[in-house]
Amino acid sequence: MSSPSKRREMDVMKLMMSDYTVETINDGLNEFNVMFNVYTILPSLCLYHIVSSYIPFVHGHEKMSGLYEGGVWKVHVELPDGYPYKSPSIGFINKIFHPNVDELSGSVCLDVINQSWSPMFDLLNVFEVFLPQLLLYPNASDPLNGDAASLMMKDREQYELKVKEYCDRYAKKENIDASAAEDESDEEDISDGHCTSSDDEIAGHADP
């Protein structure tokens, strides 16, 4: 059995070899950002076999997948020292309107990551199965975004319009690039060692 550090390296390399853009932080593999392109992922999913049970992704769900289709999100990933025996922390950096994603922090509420994680899973499962499943099948009964959950249950048409509005406003590659440029500009403006408190919440840092 490979060591946790070796497994971490292998899983990140598998992401990169599967055409995911991975931006490492502080030149390490414990913390990084991944570009999650829904347009290329959701339409290609049909059936995935995971630990003797099938999770269905069928082309009959075009309407649901269409809500987020075309969106591009930067997803923050933190791997604990015990990975893969402990689950990764996953959070959306740019905004997404979804019942199971906290709008402010980007934290994700997904049982397979938060409660049912197994070392048999890897990062490719997260981005090719678990997150697409989250977008296809939002669970309004266990929300992190109460407004999204309430709107989804009470007025599905308005909920879908709100999802598309967020996708158009926040989930385009040009929006992410512009945000990154603004962040770099802000960093250059900081002088004399002054910075924000370390206790401030950073978008995209999900709770494990």
Which residues make beta-bridge pairs with 22?
34
Could you list the active site residues? 109
Distance CA 170, CA 144 (A): 19
Both structure tokens of 8: 């971490």
